[in-house]
Structure 1
Amino acid sequence: MNSRNLFRALTKPLFIHNMCKRQKGYKVVKRPDPSTLKMPNLADAPSIMDIIKEKVRLNGPLTVAEYMNIVITNPTEGYYMKKDVIGETGDFITSPEISQLFGEILGVWFYAETQKMCSGKPLQIVELGPGKATLLIDILRVLNRYGYKANDLSLHLVEISSTMQLLQANRLCVTHKETGLELPYNHEGETASGIKVYWYNDLKKVPNNFSWYIAHEFFDVLPIHKFEKTEKGWREILIDLDANGKLQYRIAANETQSVKVLVRPPLDAGDRMELEISPRALGIARQLANRVDQHGGLALIADYGHNGEKGDTFRAFHKHKVVDPLENPGEADLTADVDFSQLRISGSMTPGEENYAVVVGPVKQIEFLERMQAGVRLQVLIDNAKSDEEKEKIKAAYEMLVDPKKMGERFKFMAFYPSAMAPILQKFPPLGFSTPK
């Protein structure tokens, strides 16, 4: 055999049957149908305290944000997931539940400010954390007087609690149902007048159209990180277990990732020794600002809070009383005052490639309501009351909203407008945020 034939023989493919046969290195597994999956039996679900103890055992002390997230949103035992907590029989009461006047004034504000930019039709009304839907009901009553019909608007509710979704649906709709996983919304319904209603578990899933965004007592329940300034710099406050298995605060020995990421200018400006920051609140404020600027509309934030002067506001409410937030987790509402100075930073930007919003406020609730001529509406309600007892109830409810020692000064209002509205607002200042001339 010459060298050429030898080379061909060596380079010819060699097939060894069976030895070189390729075998499958995986097993085909049929995925379960998501629509058939069910939640575990509630009777078998671990308690909130058991969940927290196991988290600490596996990962060490929790941040306050992690603790709040577990206590508030656990699918089976979370505070907002299993019961109606709003009202006289619950743990706290909100302004719309106190007086119909509150929601009506907000409806008038949205309508009046919208007239400065367009007709406001078609309109999406988007509420974050709608509670019992009382605020929406009062706003719809105002829009009916302004001539809005069913085909002029739709309602979009951002709500993570299936319990609250069902409560809202029963109050708003004559028909409603759950939807499939292929849709961005997980519940839909229709009001008696034909208005379409949709429920979402995330603001990102709400369609990007001209909208009114309402966030009333929403930001105060978003998880916060707590920080304290020490001789070694900023350190995070953590939640740990003591020798008896009871929850307690402790301060981190070293910088946590949250300190490195969050505690920097402008959020740590000034000489503050304590700081609370909610990354989720900052993210949602930025979303609202961008949505308003890109697609038109208005965003109104109403909550109890401050303008950057406070640093330790984390607490809990049970049966309308302040209680220790580490006692009986899951049985009380966890909350922290909203830092409106942080929302302003997140919502407003220097004009450029990224979108931004014109941010106005915060102003105190008493100032906002009085500038919106709430006293005029109050008198109408009093005049239409059927008895002296009813008149006194109406007056008392209004006093609770505006009394500086109650809700009048603790609650604040802030609004986001599209950036294109800046010159218009110079000529026609925002109602409620400026003194009428």
Structure 2
Amino acid sequence: MTDLTPDVLQDRLRRQMAADGPLPLGTVMAEAARTYYAQGRAFGTDGDFITAPEISQVFGELIGLWLAVVWQQMGQPQPVRLVEFGPGRGVLIADALRAVSRVPGFLEAVDLHLVEQSPALRQAQKDRLASLPLTPVWHEDLATLPDGPALMVGNEFIDALPIEQLEFDGSVWRLRCVDWSEAEQAFVFVPGPQADPAQVAALGPAFADPVPGMLAELCPAGQQVAAALGARLAAQGGVALLIDYGYADSAPGETLQALRHHQPVPALQTPGAVDITAHVDFARLAAAAEAAGAKAWGPMTQGRFLAALGAEQRARILMRTATPQQAVQISSGVHRLIHPGKMGTLFKVLVLADPALPCPPGFEALA
């Protein structure tokens, strides 16, 4: 939790760098994210970015029905923990709960848990869910979630976790750090200490023959989340549905980016005032979860996943009773979610599951 403004955070970072030297990128990202999300202004057309649930209600509805089918595959346990990580303004879970209201026994079986640190976003979630039958319990992190079988969802959650970058200087891999440049009056990237040999060893075959300037991105926090989820699911049952933009296999290159009012800006321009993210390495998430005992399904492209769940059919049903203007919005929203040139290919879907469960809905082609 933080009450820092972006200006105060940036001043604190400058003073810390002056006293202690350059900071690892991951440290700067973690501080920036806490400040940024505490403001509560990130999401929607009036914020810095818009997520799938806010593009089309079909997204949340299909996720809700997917969770209900998985619950049935699990044998309809009661109680079951329904968990969302980083719920934003609560749109996804609200649409999901409305969609499953007619699934016999489901709402009676679940208790709702939201993992959210921002007080402003917690209030937005509370307001959004006020008319729905479940009262959420909020958590700072995964550690305080109650035991038991769980249905978990994280949409654009992992991409906001801090990453580390390693850069090959021609002889060794070095941690990429951030410093304040008085000359440029800006935060800048600088070479840091030699990278941990264990990190280098774990980079994989894509980095076996590095060239000077090659970048590798690692998300230790994301791998820790995947490992924790994997261990829990293997021991207590359930699934975790992770949806994010990223790549299926580890690859060199930089994906660090920042958005301000839906436009790209330099990642280090104003820490705490912009949305700083990086593409998710789904291969590493899957490996971490499976090493902890879970079964990983995917990743599969978002377009293929939503199409398998009937996104276009659901859109046509909604359009039957819509005004002409609403029909255009419904059609364009679903098109944006599933088209390969929009979000359909860049965004991926990964399911982590109790190994005892059958193939989850939508993944039959991978079984």
Q: Give TM-score, length-normalised by structure 2.
A: 0.92
Deviations 1:231-271 (A, max 9, x none): 2121111111223242111112x414xx3342223x33323
In the other structure, the counterpart of 1:185 is none
Q: Secondary structure at the match of 2:363?
A: coil
1:274 to 190, 194, 215: 215
Structure 1 residue 284: deviation in Å? 0.6
Query: Which residues of 2 match residues 7-406 of structure 1 at below 5 A?
Result: 47-73=8-34, 78-148=35-105, 151-173=108-130, 192-193=132-133, 195-244=134-183, 245-252=185-192, 254-256=193-195, 259-265=196-202, 267-271=203-207, 273-307=214-248, 308-349=250-291, 355-385=292-322, 387-406=323-342
**What aligned pairs does 1:421-432 form with structure 2 within 5 A after superposition?**
421=357, 425=358, 429-432=359-362
State how far apart, in whole Å, the 2-side matches of 1:360 and 1:79 are: 32
Q: Which has the higher contact order (CA 8 A, sep 6+)?
A: 2
CA gap 1:46/1:93 in 2 versus in 1, 3 angstroms: closer
Query: What is the rounded CA distance, in whole Å, between the counterparts of 2:205 and 2:294 in structure 1?
Result: 22
Please tell me the residue identity of whatever aligns with 1:431: P
- Decide whether the 8 Å contact of 1:371 with 1:435 is kept in 2: no
Do the aligned partners of 1:293 and 1:356 also contact (CA within 8 Å) in 2? Answer: yes
Amino acid aligned to 2:310:
Q
Q: Determine the C-alpha separation between the residues in 2 that align with 1:227 and 1:146.
A: 48
Distance 1:138 1:192, change over 3 A: closer
The CA deviation string for residues 284-322 of structure 1, in whole angstroms up to 9 with x for no partner, is: 111111111111111100000002235310010011111
Q: 1:162 to 1:430 in 2, by over 3 A?
A: same
For structure 1, list consecutive stretches of 5 or more residues without a partner in the other structure.
Answer: 1-38, 174-190, 350-354
Which range moves more in the overlay, 120-129 or 271-280? 271-280
Letter in 1 for 2:311: A
Letter in 1 for 2:158: F
Q: Identify the range of structure 1 (220-229 vs 119-128) with the bigger mean alpha-carbon deviation.
A: 119-128
Shift of 1:91: 0.3
Whole-angstrom CA distance in 2 between matches of 1:167 and 1:115: 31
Letter in 2 for 1:58: A
Match of 2:347 in 1: 411
Is the 1:366–1:409 contact (alpha carbons within 8 Å) kept by the matching residues of 2? yes
Q: After superposition, what is the alpha-carbon deviation per residue over 1:360-390, rounded to whole angstroms, capped at 9, x for unaligned? A: 11111111011112221111111121x1111
Q: How far did residue 149 of structure 1 move?
A: 6.2
Conserved in 2, the CA contact under 8 Å of 1:124 and 1:211? Answer: yes
Aligned residue for 1:400, secondary structure, equals helix
Q: How many residues align?
A: 360
Q: What is the root-mean-square deviation in Å for CA atoms of aligned residues?
A: 2.1
Q: TM-score scaled to structure 1, two decimals?
A: 0.78
| Secondary structure class of the residue paired with 2:126 | helix
- Structure index of larger Rg: 1
Match of 1:434 among 358, 364, 367: 364
Structure 2 unaligned residues grouped into runs of 5+: none
